[in-house]
Amino acid sequence: MEEQAVSYRSVNENPCHMCMPIGAILPFKGVERSMVLIHGSQGCSTYMRRHISEHFNEPVDVGSSSLNEKGTVYGGEANLKQGLDNLIKIYHPSLIGVLTTCLAETIGEDIDRIGQEYLRERKMDNFPLVTVPTPGYGHSHSEGFSLAVKRILARLARKSPSHGRINVLVPNISPADLREIKRLLEIMGVRYTLLPDFSETLDAPFTSPYHKIPSGGTGLNSIREMPGAIATLQMGVTLEEGFSPGKYLEEEYRVPLFNLPLPIGLENTDTFIRSLQKVTGAPVPEILLKERGRLLDAMVDAHKYNFAGRCIIFGEPELVYAMAGTCLENGVTPVAVATGGKGAKLKTLLQTLRDRYAADAPDTGNGKGVGPVFLPEADFDIMRRTARERGANLAIGHSGGKYLTEKEGIPLVRMGFPIHDRVGGQRIFSAGYAGTTVFLDRITNTLLERKLSGYRERIYRQFYRGKKYDLV
Amino acid sequence: MGLREQDIDSILDVYPAKVKRNRKKHILLRDTALETQEIEANARTIPGIISNRGCAFAGCKGVVLGPLKDFVHIVHGPIGCAYYTWGTRRNKARIEDPKQYFLNYCFSTDMQESDIVFGGEKKLAGMIDEVVETFHPNAIAVTATCPVGLIGDDIQAVAREAEKRHGVPVMAFNCEGYRGVSQSAGHHIANNGLMEHVIGRGDLEEPPTRFAVNMLGEYNIGGDSWEIERVLRDIGYEVIAVMTGGGSFETLKNAHVANLNLVQCHRSINYIADMLEKKYGTPWLKINFIGINNTIQSLRNMAVYFGDAKLQERTEEVIAREMSRVEPVLEQYRKICQGKTAFCFVGGSRGHNYQGIFAELGVETILAGYEFAHRDDYEGRAIIPQIKINADNQNIPELTVEPDKKRFRMKVSPEKMAELQEKIPLCEYKGMIVEMQSSSLIVDDLNHFETEAFIERLKPDIFCSGIKDKYVAHKMGVPSKQLHSYDYSGPYYGFKGAVKFAQDITMGFVSPTWNYITPPWKNKPLLKGDVQKEEVQNVGLYTKRT
Ligand code: SF4
Ligand code: SF4
């Protein structure tokens, strides 16, 4: 598969990814009564709170050890311990995540040792303190997310008697999609532990009175018992070695691991439902068959518009992969697929998709190419150039893509994290048959809007004045 | 309705004893009977207490340098810091030359583990070369984030070399996030750099008109300074440079020719205003263009400074014309806002600067404070000699300036200066505290816990702060207004801005949404049913819970 060279430049011009700790905050928000403290100077945590808040439209509380110059010289141990004291006194959390930053990692802070010492000093030996080393320069926010899930498991999981539930591990998706996955699990009659689950905490209903730590999130006991599950379904086909929480459960506790794509798209949702059916052995309930039927109906109705779509897809690997599949099975051609990180596995997976769908597809771009090029470690400068070269007329991804709209007039279907220039990032619904249907509608309608807005003029120029024009 | 000392005490009881002692010094109950009241500020943030403060990098790159549109801003560091300052402040700028406009870009050296180990100087130098080649910007600013200072990259040297190599101004700013205690350190670092490397670099010797001013400490959020510039131009002023909203290298380099510096945000710029006086003999005037009365007063004070009859006349004409336009519109909003209360917790100057417009609308500010201000912003400049230098503010290099041999021109004689100071706040600022009502609260570095506690106790009708804490207010059923970035609205300055502000605030009060917070099945039977019913009918849809 074609791959654009990236390392020839020192510039990252308009980045597509964020740093590791911001990704690691999110899973903690999906664990019952938990809080996060970031070890470093306060700027990092303030910025991350700001960005997470803006996406979810929710308060997001993250503490900082507020290191300053003195801390950088003599070490930040005292600050970290004081920070933990204060956090515990004010919030009474049941679990605390301690993350590092570039600063803490560069001065070589050993948060494991400090954490253990702290618990011993305060006589809180059993308190679940979860440390996650997340240097901003280490990896992107996607790896931060999965590493945090893995560390939460590593701290809490205990050998447990078999209890007949399954583990469901999810990447960074919207609370709306988390709720849909839970609904599907319930419809299928599966007992499960979902980790992380920020469907309530980061999209909390208005209630009175307000609670500093919102209710919801995966219960600590459920996490402790995850080793007793029948199997783990992990929506993590793109996860790299060392970042897979499911792998951890398999290696440490022999819980069989099934890696699946996110259930976005017809085939991906089929895969998910089929896996659940294997667990229960029962037939798929009528209600889901109807939802599947409706999706198919929508696909049939929309195919004539979708074939004109040439999209650039970008964002976190797991989501990007699921979106690429969804586009392909609907006849929308992804001309480029980009991610801010390295995405080695994603590349192979996309290759397979491309061979299946795009190998014999006609070139709707009139010579601009079929099937996606893969852009790892991409920034929006590369994406912009590639989008132009390959005649993209649609972008699908987070708010960073507004740059493609501003510079190239390519409309953006917002999806993923972060959404900071629109409300409702937390409600973007795309999972399951029902979610896929609305996701597809968003794509088709964006294409239609574009088509209809300049339709008369284009047709006039194309047919009456003989000018050749793109088929869009 | 207000709180007493013992109420504050009981709120703070949640804290460990040491933290409580610390926080008490940052919280002040206003007593107008006292001549002076002290407050602690610009002190270290307490670890684990969720503060709204950012870091020096945020203040330097995010706030002060970021708005300069013909600079390419290179963030030297790992990707996060750069990403988080990408277009988040809503500072607007006109595109005069599309080839010299870089505000919607975000450039980072995206340091990796290997750069941390082996140093990132080479990567940075390479990036500067690429940027010059691709964009030919008027100037380049390199800002450092935390790891850079720790691994010892000499960005100053890299910048100097690059400037020599390309003949393009390249400036480096050591604004690593761990310096100082808040954004304020970063403002200082940025402004010092601009003072040293940009102002005075142009070759203009005389201002184009006598009434030439600079606007300092104004960041053009949502188009604020455009509204001010409109009015100033109409009166006959020439705005040489804005520091830095909508500003540029091209305009800033000639800022030395102005005859007066206007200071909007005292916190971020007062030291530069002082330096400009020392170096070029230009005094500064504290103005405040937020609210009708403040705007009018500021315009009149400017006219007093220049002492020109024609200018004074024109000033009054413009004021009268603008007033006839806005007054009738404002009246309808005033009716709704009258008697409401507000929290006003913002940055380093807006916590004070917005109180005037609230008062005009009949809204009382019952709690105000700053995120990163210093004591002089609360207590006035008289306190400056008493502020102790400590380990935290020491590490920001002080810049000392001398009168410029060629360009120093004393704009007003010492006698005239003394005379003017009797009438207008020339080189003077009295701070927030004096303007606050008895039994209102002043809170420095308000944190998440206190935000919630004070909202619960004081039940303000509107909560004004930033994006991180506004959702706490929403969850408590209190409307909010972001006074950092205006929730995508604005401008709020000057005459037209006052109307926009009044409209936005009123919208918060009258939104029918608030009527649905209590579900109908939870309504308790009303004891005084008749009275309440009547009230509701009178105001129709536009009711708000009482
Ligand atoms: S504190 Fe340091 S690392 Fe964090 S955002 Fe500020 S400069 Fe970046
Ligand atoms: S890249 Fe590093 S220094 Fe910057 S915000 Fe992320 S953790 Fe903090």
Q: What is the pLDDT of residues B272-327, one digit of tens each?
A: 999 999 999 999 999 999 999 999 999 999 999 999 999 999 999 999 999 999 99
Q: Does B235 lie in the same domain as B159?
A: no
pLDDT over 50 at B40, yes or no = yes
pLDDT over 80 at B123, yes or no = yes
Confidence grade of residue B180 (pLDDT, cut at 50, 70, 90): confident
Structure tokens at B417: 């200066």
Identify the pLDDT of residue A7.
Answer: 43
Distance from CA of B1 to the nearest CA of A (A): 21
pLDDT over 70 at A236, yes or no = yes
Mean pLDDT confidence for B369-396: 85
Position B195 in a domain: no
Confidence grade of residue B90 (pLDDT, cut at 50, 70, 90): confident
Q: Does B233 lie in the same domain as B330?
A: yes
Pairing of strands B441-443, B27-29: antiparallel
Predicted confidence (pLDDT) per residue in A362-410, tens digit: 777 777 777 788 999 999 999 999 999 999 999 999 999 999 999 999 9
Q: Does B302 lie in the same domain as B233?
A: yes
Identify the pLDDT of residue A363.
Answer: 75
Contact between A63 and B50 under an 8 Å Cβ cutoff? The reply is: yes
Which residues in chain B touch residue A40, judged by CB atoms under 8 angstroms apart?
146, 177
Report the CATH number at residue B72.
Answer: 3.40.50.1980
Position B230 in a domain: yes
Q: Does B113 lie in the same domain as B10?
A: no
Give the B window 265-284 contacts with A, CB below 8 Å. none
Q: Does B167 lie in the same domain as B127?
A: yes
Angle between helices A266-280 and A175-187 (to 10 degrees): 40
Position B185 in a domain: no
Confidence grade of residue B12 (pLDDT, cut at 50, 70, 90): very high
Position B188 in a domain: no
Confidence grade of residue A6 (pLDDT, cut at 50, 70, 90): very low
pLDDT over 80 at A464, yes or no = no
- pTM, two decimals, is 0.92
pLDDT over 60 at B164, yes or no = yes
Mean pLDDT confidence for B397-405: 89
Q: Does B77 lie in the same domain as B19?
A: no
Position B186 in a domain: no
pLDDT over 90 at A283, yes or no = yes
Domain extent at residue B79: 56-178
Q: Does B250 lie in the same domain as B121?
A: no
Taking CA–CA distances from A48, the nearest residue in chain B reads B84
Mean pLDDT of the residues in chain B = 91
Q: Is B191 in the pocket of ligand 1 (CB under 6 A)?
A: no
ipTM over 0.95: no
CA of B267 to the centre of ligand 2 (A): 26
Q: Does B378 lie in the same domain as B257?
A: yes
Confidence grade of residue B393 (pLDDT, cut at 50, 70, 90): low
d(CA A382, CA B409): 51
Identify the pLDDT of residue A9.
Answer: 59
Q: Does B165 lie in the same domain as B150?
A: yes
d(CA B417, CA B145): 42
Q: What is the DSSP letter of A76?
A: S
- Single out the residue in B178, B194, B215 at which a domain terminates: B178
Q: Does B398 lie in the same domain as B360?
A: yes
Position B362 in a domain: yes
Predicted confidence (pLDDT) per residue in A37-80, tens digit: 999 999 999 999 999 999 999 999 999 999 988 888 888 999 99
Position B441 in a domain: yes
Count of structural domains, chain B:
2
Predicted confidence (pLDDT) per residue in B514-531, tens digit: 888 877 666 555 454 444
**Half-sphere exposure of A446 toward its Cβ, with a 13 Å CA cutoff?**
21
Catalytic residue numbers of B read 55, 58, 89, 187
- Max CA pair span of chain B: 82
φ and ψ at residue B348, rounded to 5 degrees: -135, -5
Taking CA–CA distances from A423, the nearest residue in chain B reads B487
Pocket of ligand 2 (CB under 6 A): A 19, 21, 44, 47, 101-102, 136; B 78-81, 145-146
Predicted confidence (pLDDT) per residue in A171-220, tens digit: 999 999 999 999 999 999 999 999 999 999 999 999 878 888 889 999 99
Identify the pLDDT of residue A373.
Answer: 87
d(CA A431, CA A454): 32
Q: Does B407 lie in the same domain as B295?
A: yes
- Stretch (H or E) spanning A282: none
Residue among B507, B461, B465 nearest B484 (CA): B465
Q: Does B411 lie in the same domain as B287?
A: yes
The lowest-confidence range among A234-248, B384-398, B523-537 is B523-537
pLDDT over 60 at B541, yes or no = no
Q: Quick check: A41 and B178 CB within 8 A?
A: yes
Angle at B487 between CA B484 and CA B491, to 5 degrees: 70
Position B184 in a domain: no
* Residue positions counted in chain B: 546
